[in-house]
Each structure stands twice: as C-alpha cells, then as structure tokens.
Amino acid sequence: MATIDSYDFKGKRAIIRVDFNVPLNEKGEVTDDTRIRAAIPTIKKVLDEGGSVILMSHLGRPKKGPEDKFSLRHIIPTVEKRLGVKVDFADDCMGADAASKAAALKPGQVLLLENLRFYAEEEGKPRGLAEDATDEEKAAAKKAVKASQKEFTKKLASYADCYINDAFGTAHRAHASTALIAEYFPNDKMFGYLMEGELKAIDKVLQNPAKPFTAILGGSKVSTKISVIENLMKRVDNLILGGGMTYTFKAALGGKVGQSICEPDQFDTALNILKQAKELGVNLVLAEDAVAADAFSNDANTQVCPSDNIPDGWEGLDVGPKAIDAFDKVIGESKTILWNGPVGVFEMDTFAKGSRAIADSVVAATAKGAYSLIGGGDTVACINKFGLADKVSYVSTGGGALLEYMEGIELPGVAAIRK
Ligand code: AMP
C-alpha cells in the first residue's frame, strides 16, 4: 500500500478528498477553520515534494444542485491564508473548466473544485423524487443515479495521477469521492496525514490498549449507542455510562425517573447490557445520583437526587456529586481512556458540571501517563468549551465515522484505500 511519506509526488497531480465542511456565517465567512487547518499538512507535503493539488470536498447538505450558501468559493480566502499559497477555483466540479484547469496545474499549484454534493452522483442517492413516488419509481431513480455515478467518479479520477483520502469525517460514507474513486488508482492511493493519525489513534485504543481500559459513553439515548456499547464491552475493563441513557437503565431496573429521557422500548436491551457486563467481568458504572431540574432550561430550579428516584415533573439533566466521585476514581486508575458523549446537558452551564468533572479527571489521568482519546461532535465541542483539548492525548475529528469504527464496522473510505 502506498503511503504519503513514501510516495513520489514529483510532477504528479494529487486529488485530495478533504473535509472542508466548515461552518459559515450569514456573510459566508468561515467561523471555525479547524477542519481546514487539519488538512494543511497533507496539502503542504504534496506541494513541497514537487506535486500539484486538486482539492475536493462537500459543504453542507445541498439537495437541489448549486446554491450560493453551499459554495466552496466562500472558503478560498481561509484556505489561502492557512496554506500560504494562491488557490484557483473550478465553479463546477464536472465542467470543462475543471478538467482544463486540472490539466494545466504546475508543481506547487492548487485547484479547489466546487462542492461535490451539487451533484446527486457524489452520494449516489436520487433527488427530486415526488413524495408519492412508487417503489418502482424509487428503484428506477436509484438505478439511474448509480449508473451516472460511475461517470462522475471516473471524471473526477481523470483529473489526477494519484488519490489521497484525508477526510476522516466522511470515511463512513461510500460516496464517489470518499471511496469509489480509489478503484481508479490501484497503486496510487493513500491516506493523508489526518486520516493516518485518526486511524492510528483509534487502533491504539481498540486493538492494543494499555490496561485498565475505561470507556466513557454519554449522550442522550441508548438506542443510538447500543452497537458501540456492545463492541466496547468486549474490550474494556470499565464502562462508564452517563447522560440521558442513565435513566433508561434505571427505569429498566424498576427505578423512578420522572420526566428524564427514557426509552421503554430499550429496557430489554439495557438489562441485557447489564447482564453481558456481569458475564464479561466488566465494571459497568452508572451514575448513582443526578442533578434534576423542573424545566429544560439553564434557569430551572435544580435538586440532587438518586438517579432512580427522580420526582414527577423533574428530569435528570446532569450527573450528581456521588457519580462524579465514582467516575473520577475509575478514570484516575485507568491507563487507556475513550470518551464519547457528554454526561449532561453541557450546553447549559447549570448542567455542565458533570462533563467538566469528567474532562478534569481525563486530563489528570493523561498527565499521569494514560492515553486518552476523545471524539464525537458534541464531546469535542464540550472539551473545547472547557479549553482542555490540548491536555488530552488525541481529539478525533470524526463523529459518525468514529462511532462506526468503534462499533467494529469497516469504514468504506478506509477499506477502499487498504484493499
Ligand atoms: P448524542 O448525540 O447522543 O451523543 O447526545 C449528545 C447530547 O446529549 C448533548 O447535546 C447533551 O446535551 C445531551 N444530553 C446529555 N445528557 C443528557 C440528559 N441527561 N438529558 C438530556 N440530554 C442529555
């Protein structure tokens, strides 16, 4: 398999799938350029080695072709600033202009293609189907877009001599630019530095963790985390479950959870997870107490109560002090820590204490030599809110991709490069 460090880019055109899906304000300015900065080392490497670069990405979720608010044109000044190189633009990724500009690239030059998702072929999903479309019409539309997706992918591939995937955030999608294009570069495809770093960090935790290994899973619902819980259960020594899911477990065990988030259809699953933990000898830690509120609001009245005895009309929105102490003890003894999902509604300061305490415990364990990996959109926002991102071992840029990788699913974007 080719690698970015061993490949000879001299005189070559590299098409790089980056994740430039950055937030823009109403004026079209980039409000957080983390993802752009994350892609710079890979782009620089190709340019420094005498190659040229074609950048491709999606931005947002356009559903009906080109729309100015989803145009990648808006991000050019930020990319130029971060890269220190002028960036040319092709305003239609399939246009004659894109092909001629790509063909004319000289070493050291960079071309950015317009948003790939202006074409349904990027995702390979039909668009514009009538709401009352029959199953046959849906199947025919799907077949048509799949057929034209081949041409779309082939054309993108024709712009370059080699392909680099550096978009971990979309690696769980089998789209034209994230997976299908790789087949046109059997010996000239590789991961970029960001992808390499992500895979190394997650593999270190999943394949070869120093023990004790503790996973902390939070978030709102059990239903979205079951597969992750089940896969991690086989690997960890301690499993801390926090956030809204706590109450499904407590209610399944016969507790009273008031108005807290609760999924009765997941009671059997929750009981089964508890049983599995026992069988596997995993120390499963649930929050013993909760900060309950009389409204879903930062200004609500609050009280600390047992997480299985929450009064009617009140909802558990954060973990309580006893839970914080219990979590801290387990995290403090860990050598490997994986954290996905806040344990309270951290967006409101009143309910951010539990997540802050977890962050502090993880930072302290990391300072003592533990390896800590944090990931998932909300968790990253959470660690950034506390200004502690540089005090843990690795912060993953992946949301859905990270979760699927943790579930043990082979990501299409990863498989396409490795096979
Ligand atoms: P998820 O996308 O499932 O990882 O959920 C993340 C969200 O869960 C965050 O926005 C938190 O505000 C929310 N959350 C965490 N704890 C609770 C809770 N006890 N009740 C309701 N929402 C919660």
Structure tokens at 296: 């879903």
Residues 384-389 have a mean pLDDT of: 93
User: Residue 73 CA to chain centroid, in angstroms?
Assistant: 24
pLDDT confidence tier of residue 128, bands split at 50, 70 and 90: confident
Predicted confidence at residue 366, as pLDDT, reads 98
The residue from 60, 108, 255, 400 that is catalytic is 400
Residue (of 260, 233, 234, 238) closest to 249 by Cα position: 260
Measured from the CA of 220, which atom of ligand 1 is nearest?
A: 8
35 is catalytic: yes
- What would you report as the CA-atom Rg of the chain, rounded to the nearest whole angstrom? 24
Structure tokens at 411: 């990501």
Structure tokens at 96: 């004659």
Residues 340-352 have a mean pLDDT of: 96
The kind and range of the H/E element at 55 are strand 52-56
Fold match, 13-191 / 199-406: yes
Contact yes or no for 53/14 (Cβ under 8 A): yes
The CA angle 7-12-17, to the nearest 5 degrees, is 75
377 is catalytic: yes
Contact yes or no for 307/320 (Cβ under 8 A): yes
Predicted confidence at residue 257, as pLDDT, reads 98
Q: What is the CA(242)–ligand 1 centre distance, in A?
A: 9
pLDDT confidence tier of residue 403, bands split at 50, 70 and 90: confident
Structure tokens at 403: 């979760």
The alpha-helical segments, DSSP class H, found in 34-134 are 34-48, 76-83, 96-103, 120-123
pLDDT tops 90 at residue 342: yes
Measured from the CA of 290, which atom of ligand 1 is nearest?
A: 19
Tell whether domain 13-191 is in CATH 3.10.110.10: no
Predicted confidence at residue 32, as pLDDT, reads 87
Question: Around Cβ 19, how many Cβ atoms within 10 Å?
Answer: 24
The residue from 125, 221, 256, 385 that is catalytic is 221
- Contacts of range 323-326, beta carbons closer than 8 Å, 24 or more positions apart: 323/242, 323/287, 323/288, 323/289, 323/290, 323/354, 324/353, 324/354, 324/357, 326/285, 326/287, 326/288
Q: How far is CA 269 from CA 230, 283, 364, 370, in A?
A: 10, 18, 33, 31
61 is catalytic: no
Residues 84-109 have a mean pLDDT of: 98
- In one-letter notation, the amino acid at residue 69 is K
Indicate the top mutation candidate among 216, 217, 220 to test ligand 1's pocket, ranked by most ligand atoms within 8 A of CB: 220
Under DSSP, the state recorded for 210 is P
Tell whether domain 199-406 is in CATH 3.40.50.1260: yes
Residues 281-291 have a mean pLDDT of: 98
Ranges assigned E (strand) in 218-370: 238-241, 256-257, 283-286, 289-293, 302-306, 309-310, 315-319, 336-340
Structure tokens at 372: 């800590």
Q: What is the CA(303)–ligand 1 centre distance, in A?
A: 19
pLDDT tops 90 at residue 358: yes
- Ligand 1: does its nearest atom lie under 6 Å from the Cβ of 347? yes
The 3-state DSSP class for residue 88 equals strand
Indicate the top mutation candidate among 343, 345, 351 to test ligand 1's pocket, ranked by most ligand atoms within 8 A of CB: 345
Phi-psi region of 254 (alpha: psi -120 to 50; beta: other; left: phi over 0): left
Q: Rounded mean pLDDT of the chain?
A: 95
Residue (of 202, 197, 194, 192) closest to 2 by Cα position: 192
Strands 336-340 and 371-374, by their bridges, are parallel
Domain range summary for the chain, segments of one domain joined by +:
13-191, 199-406
Q: What is the pLDDT of residues 58-85, one digit of tens each?
A: 999 998 899 999 999 999 999 999 999 9
The CA angle 59-63-69, to the nearest 5 degrees, is 45
Predicted confidence at residue 130, as pLDDT, reads 87
- Ligand 1: does its nearest atom lie under 6 Å from the Cβ of 319? no
Phi and psi at residue 257, in whole multiples of 5°? -120, 10
Q: What is the CA(169)–ligand 1 centre distance, in A?
A: 21
pLDDT tops 90 at residue 406: no
Residue nearest to atom 20 of ligand 1 (CA): 244
Q: What DSSP line would sit under 345-409, residue for residue?
A: -TTSGGG-HHHHHHHHHHHHHHHTT-EEEE-SHHHHHHHHHTT-GGGSSEE---SHHHHHHHTTP
The kind and range of the H/E element at 191 are strand 189-191
Q: What is the pLDDT of residues 315-329, one digit of tens each?
A: 999 999 999 999 999
